[in-house]
């Protein structure tokens, strides 16, 4: 738990949080190692978790077109959970990935227990959804 809490301090989303809040996130998370080439999410499928990349790299694609590359410190999955909609993109590991995964219930708990987290995620979610809208025009 302690090691993960320290790693979360390097993730921009959690960097400004007090240690006890990062420990809560660490308690809610489950570690996941994903080999290169494997999908972490698939566009159109039900979203059940929020993911935080600790190591590795992923490509984010929508409609078969790569729209972003994410690396350590990035996160994804909040749109499907917060907007209660299917996954908006497919995420595939382009390098071996080490990630922490927070299931729907834990994600909801974190939003309640960590002041400001929901606001930050809503701002990012709105920006990502706007980008998706722009891509369909």
Closest to 98 in 3D by CA, of 16, 10, 18: 10
Q: What is the pLDDT of residue 135?
A: 66
pLDDT tens column, 53-64: 999 999 999 999
pLDDT tens column, 1-55: 889 999 999 888 888 889 999 999 999 999 999 999 999 999 999 999 999 999 9
Q: What is the pLDDT of residue 92?
A: 98
Yes or no: say if 110 and 25 are a contact pair by the CB < 8 Å rule.
yes
Yes or no: say if 101 and 75 are a contact pair by the CB < 8 Å rule.
no
- Find the Cα–Cα–Cα–Cα dihedral 23, 101, 37, 65, rounded to 10°: -110
Is pTM beyond 0.85? Reply is yes
Residue-range domains of the chain with CATH? 32-136 (2.60.120.10)
Phi-psi region at 110: left, alpha or beta (left = phi > 0; alpha = psi -120 to 50): alpha
What is the chain's mean pLDDT, rounded?
91
């Amino acid at each position: 738990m302690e090691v993960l809490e320290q790693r979360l301090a390097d993730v921009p989303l959690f960097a400004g949080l007090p240690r006890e809040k990062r420990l809560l996130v660490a308690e809610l998370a489950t570690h996941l190692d994903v080999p290169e080439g494997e999908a972490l999410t698939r566009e159109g499928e039900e979203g059940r978790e929020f993911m935080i990349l600790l190591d590795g790299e992923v490509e984010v694609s929508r409609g078969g077109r790569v729209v972003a590359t994410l690396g350590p410190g990035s996160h994804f999955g909040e749109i499907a959970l917060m907007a209660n909609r299917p996954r908006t993109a497919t995420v595939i590991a382009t390098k071996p990935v080490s990630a922490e995964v927070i299931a729907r219930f834990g994600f909801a708990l974190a939003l309640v227990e960590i002041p400001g987290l929901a606001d930050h995620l809503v701002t990012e979610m709105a920006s990502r959804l706007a980008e998706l809208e722009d891509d369909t025009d």
